[in-house]
Structure 1
Amino acid sequence: MTPAVFSHGDLRLYLLSLLAEAPQHGYGIIQALTDRTGGTYTPSAGTIYPRLAKLEEEGLVSKTVDGRTTIYSITDAGRAELTGREGDLAGIESGLADSVRLIANEVRQSVQDAMKSLRADLAAAANDERTAAKGRPRSTSSSLPDDRVTSREELHRADASINAFRARVRTDLRTHVARGGVLSASTVTDLDAALDAAARAVTQALSSSRP
């Protein structure tokens, strides 16, 4: 289970700390939370705006409307609460850093596991091909067309495997994001590196199976 970034009630105080730095509109607050968690946490508008409304109701936040934009600012009462809870805020920031690391590690591990599985499948397929090749007679001019037919058939199977893998990873990524999960830059970087390693493994396997 993905660990929660904010414990119950902590987001409320953290919002006050963000507004103490500068007035913000709702999207700016969401973006600030995304930036400060390295992209591992992007709250929805349905999470942020009700909390801002509650803070306004408590007199800790005020808002002004500028055209179609609503700007939220911390009030003197909000600053007083923030000052009185400096210790709590320090604990929240420390816990936030730990939670972000856990989330990043969890997502990174899931991508790495998928890549390891792909590399294992490719290595097994290469071994099977080498074993089968040892049991076949050496190619002659008369058997060459059969080899080509077999290669084309295997190429179609390889294409199907690659497409199935691509579809599975795309589905997993899209489902993760659709459910509110965050896809960090470091995870995509790990994905790129793993795919590059898998491609090199395929190239190596093909080189070793050449006559």
Structure 2
Amino acid sequence: MSPVFSHGSLRLYLLSLLAEGPKHGYELIQSLSDRFGGTYSPSAGTIYPRLAKLEEEGLVTKESDGRKTVYSITDAGRRELEGRQGDLDAIELELTNSVRRLADEVRTGVTDAMRSLKADLASAARQAKQTASNAPFVSTEEPDSRTTSRIALHDADVAIAQFRQQLRSDLRQQVATGTLTDATVQQLKIDLDRVRDGIRAAFGTTTE
């Protein structure tokens, strides 16, 4: 994915978000994701170091609210924003261009995936046709088993990708709120192994 923020831009933009009101880390991540229409969501490893730096500079403060840490802009932070309004306007324009670019990249990725699938299906169809010509007594009314399997594989890939994306989003939320533990990760591994064993059993494959 192409870079979203130029050097120093994210720092200033976080200040502008906090100027709208106090927020905890996940709320800042969600606000950025919303502004990008879901095409970009920064990781906790991207946001929290910058918040720590802003705190060191006296531009934000933080306080605990239960399990969450809430960040607020200081008077010095507001003065920083006022003095760099021109830079902030330029960042807003930069974000508009970034959203457009990211949307184009997403469309390109989807288009490439569809082209790849069409190529696979065309190849499978040619192979099925060749098989049918070599075995004239075999009915061709139903799709060739390999063609069916390729389509099923594509559906499985899509399902796995969606599951992975949703799970990573859930885990990042836990990281943002500081609630992800080793016990949770270990249970996740156990559950994933159990699911894999169940699928392998359905295939008739012996678990290693």
Same fold (TM over 0.5): yes
Aligned to 1:155: 144
* TM-score, L = length of structure 1: 0.67
User: What letter is aligned with 1:156?
Assistant: S
- With over 3 angstroms needed to count, the CA separation of the structure-2 counterparts of 1:21 and 1:165, relative to structure 1, is same
1:143-164 superposed Cα distances (whole Å, 9 cap, x missing partner): 8xx343x556x53121122134
User: What letter is aligned with 1:158?
Assistant: T
| Whole-angstrom CA distance in 1 between matches of 2:163 and 2:3 | 20
TM-aligned CA deviation for residue 9 of structure 1 = 0.6
Q: Which secondary structure does the structure 2 equivalent of 1:22 belong to? A: coil
Matched, 1:113 2:112: yes
Aligned to 1:65: 64
Matched, 1:41 2:30: no
TM-aligned CA deviation for residue 168 of structure 1 = 5.2
TM-aligned CA deviation for residue 114 of structure 1 = 2.0
User: After the TM superposition, which residues 182-201 of structure 1 pair with which residues of structure 2 at under 5 Å, given as runs?
Assistant: none
Asked if the contact 2:121–2:147 (Cα under 8 Å) also holds between the matched residues in 1, the reply is no
- With over 3 angstroms needed to count, the CA separation of the structure-2 counterparts of 1:86 and 1:160, relative to structure 1, is same
Q: Which secondary structure does the structure 2 equivalent of 1:63 belong to? A: strand
Q: Which runs of 5+ in 1 are unaligned?
A: 137-142, 181-211
| Whole-angstrom CA distance in 2 between matches of 1:82 and 1:175 | 38
* TM-score, L = length of structure 2: 0.67
Q: Which secondary structure does the structure 1 equivalent of 2:101 belong to? A: helix
Give the structure, 1 or 2, with the largest relative contact order (CA under 8 Å, sep 6 or more): 1
| Whole-angstrom CA distance in 1 between matches of 2:50 and 2:130 | 64
Aligned to 1:165: 154
Q: Which secondary structure does the structure 2 equivalent of 1:64 belong to? A: strand
1:127-149 superposed Cα distances (whole Å, 9 cap, x missing partner): 7878998x89xxxxxx8xx343x
Aligned to 2:178: none
User: What letter is aligned with 1:162?
Assistant: I
Q: Which runs of 5+ in 2 are unaligned?
A: 170-208
Aligned to 2:55: 56
User: What letter is aligned with 1:75?
Assistant: T
| Paired residue total | 169
Instruction: Report which of the two structures shows the higher radius of gyration computed on alpha carbons.
Output: 1
Q: Which secondary structure does the structure 2 equivalent of 1:65 belong to? A: strand
| Whole-angstrom CA distance in 2 between matches of 1:178 and 1:13 | 30
| Whole-angstrom CA distance in 2 between matches of 1:102 and 1:173 | 22
Aligned to 1:190: none
Identity of aligned residues (%): 58
Aligned to 2:15: 16
